[in-house]
Structure 1
Amino acid sequence: MTIKRIHSGSPFEEKIGYCRAVVAGGFVHVAGTVGQGDTVEEQCRTALGTIGWALRQAGAGFSDAVRVTYYLPTASDFEKCWPILAETFGDNPPVATMIECGLIDAKYRIEIELTALAPVAA
């Protein structure tokens, strides 16, 4: 089995020992991703931007997503992200789970982890 590792260049990847995404076993596994900004909506959009970039590097897109997990320190913030998520996934929504938990830094309001189908090699 071929494994492709996708690095975004984040200094945390080397410091912690992970990569943004791994293509293996017919799937693209995208690491938990936080975004930048002051609001949960801004962070949601920028996290999805990073995830979208990783999916493109793997030859996939949001329409290939099969599972997404949202981690939020404040569950009531999640509803603010719903329109952004509905716009992102459109007619191809994945299965989803939202978990209320602490994140690596109190400044983060949402972290998103995603699994998508990998493109079939020609």
Structure 2
Amino acid sequence: MSRRLISTGSPFEKAGGYSRAVVDGDFAFVAGTTGYDYTTMTMPEDVTNQSRNCFKTIQAVLEEGGFAMTDIVRATYYITDIKDADAHFAVCGEILGEIRPASTILVVAALLKPEMKVEIEVTAKRRSA
């Protein structure tokens, strides 16, 4: 299988010279994804809805690449305020509770834009049939 690039059509991807995801063989590498709703290009104010939007975008690109959320084996979370950790983890539990990928959370000083409270990147491995 050849390398395949997946885009959400976000203007950030073209401007920054990156793909939302790269599928290479049985692996999908999903770039850091923030909480934008890419259909409206709006950002919710709260971390809960930003986290949900992150996972919505991640699920869409994984499915486009022939993967499922259950294929996620690694997740890295970046949050800008430790006070948002519980709300973010509640969303992670809803969405990944049965999948339970290896994960890391980092509290960072800032993300690219001040309205961004969370960024999520994942790696998925297609399961054998």
Normalising to structure 2: TM-score of the pair?
0.87
Please say if residues 58 and 118 of structure 1, whose CA atoms lie closer than 8 Å, have aligned partners that are also in contact: no
Q: CA deviation at 1:90?
A: 3.0
What's the counterpart of residue 108 of structure 1? Answer: 116
- The residue correspondences of 1:1-122 to structure 2 (distance < 5 A) are 2-35=2-35, 36-101=43-108, 102-118=110-126
Q: RMSD across aligned C-alpha pairs, in angstroms?
A: 1.5
CA-to-aligned-CA distance 1:9-40 (integer Å, 9 cap, x gap): 00011100001100114210000000120100
Please say if residues 31 and 114 of structure 1, whose CA atoms lie closer than 8 Å, have aligned partners that are also in contact: yes
Normalising to structure 1: TM-score of the pair?
0.92
Question: Size of the alignment, in residue pairs?
Answer: 121
**Unaligned regions of 5+ residues in structure 1, if any?**
none
**Unaligned regions of 5+ residues in structure 2, if any?**
36-42
Q: Which runs of 4+ in 1 moved over 3 A?
A: none
The sequence identity of aligned pairs, in percent, is 37
